[in-house]
Amino acid sequence: MKHCLYWLIAIASTLTATGLLAQPSGAKQENVAEGAKIFKRSCSVCHSLRPNQTKNGRSLSAALRRHPSAKSQERVRRIIAEGTGNMPAFKDRLSPDEISALIAFLKQQ
Ligand code: HEC
């Protein structure tokens, strides 16, 4: 019985290593590509991704890479949905899924 368990673990590790169980990361890639499109369409007029390049709002380069915590992701999600200062709210224009894709993209910038 114990041997079965070892075999299962061995098979599972092999599958993970070969990417057969790695579906979620494939889905993530799609999210990031979708997020890039949304950024271009909705954010790039006012935000650059180049470090220190300020447009209407400041550069979002490394904004989430430097602060990857769930809390700062929540904060950015709220800013996108509700707007802040001179930034308009996007909750009527972007679905929660689109905002998630945007955040997945921003985390890599
Ligand atoms: C019309 C211009 C405009 C657009 C479009 C815009 N923003 Fe902004 N954004 C701003 C301004 C201006 C600020 C600074 C707001 C303030 O504090 O007064 C800001 C602030 C932010 C902040 C907070 C930055 C920080 O470090 O405090 C984030 C995050 C952000 N924007 C993300 C986005 C995303 C993502 C989009 C695309 C969905 C977007 N913005 C679209 C103008 C814009």
* Tens digit of each residue's pLDDT (9 = 90 or more) over 54-64: 999 999 998 88
Higher pLDDT pick, 20 / 61? 61
Provide mean pLDDT across the span 31-60: 96
Query: Residue with the nearest Cα to atom 40 of ligand 1?
Result: 43
| pTM above threshold 0.75 | yes
Query: Residue with the nearest Cα to atom 21 of ligand 1?
Result: 57
Q: Give me the pLDDT at residue 46, please.
A: 97
Q: Is the pLDDT of residue 12 over 60?
A: no
C-alpha torsion 45→50→56→58, nearest 10: 130
89 lines ligand 1 (CB under 6 A): no
Beta bridge partners of 87: 84
Query: Residue with the nearest Cα to atom 32 of ligand 1?
Result: 80
Alpha-carbon distance of 70 to 107, in angstroms, equals 11
| Region for 34 from its dihedrals, namely left if φ exceeds 0, alpha if ψ lies in -120 to 50, beta otherwise | alpha
Q: How remote is the CA of residue 72 from the centroid of ligand 1, in Å?
A: 14
Q: Is the pLDDT of residue 70 over 60?
A: yes
C-alpha Rg value of the chain to the nearest Å = 19
Domains of the chain: 24-106 (1.10.760.10)
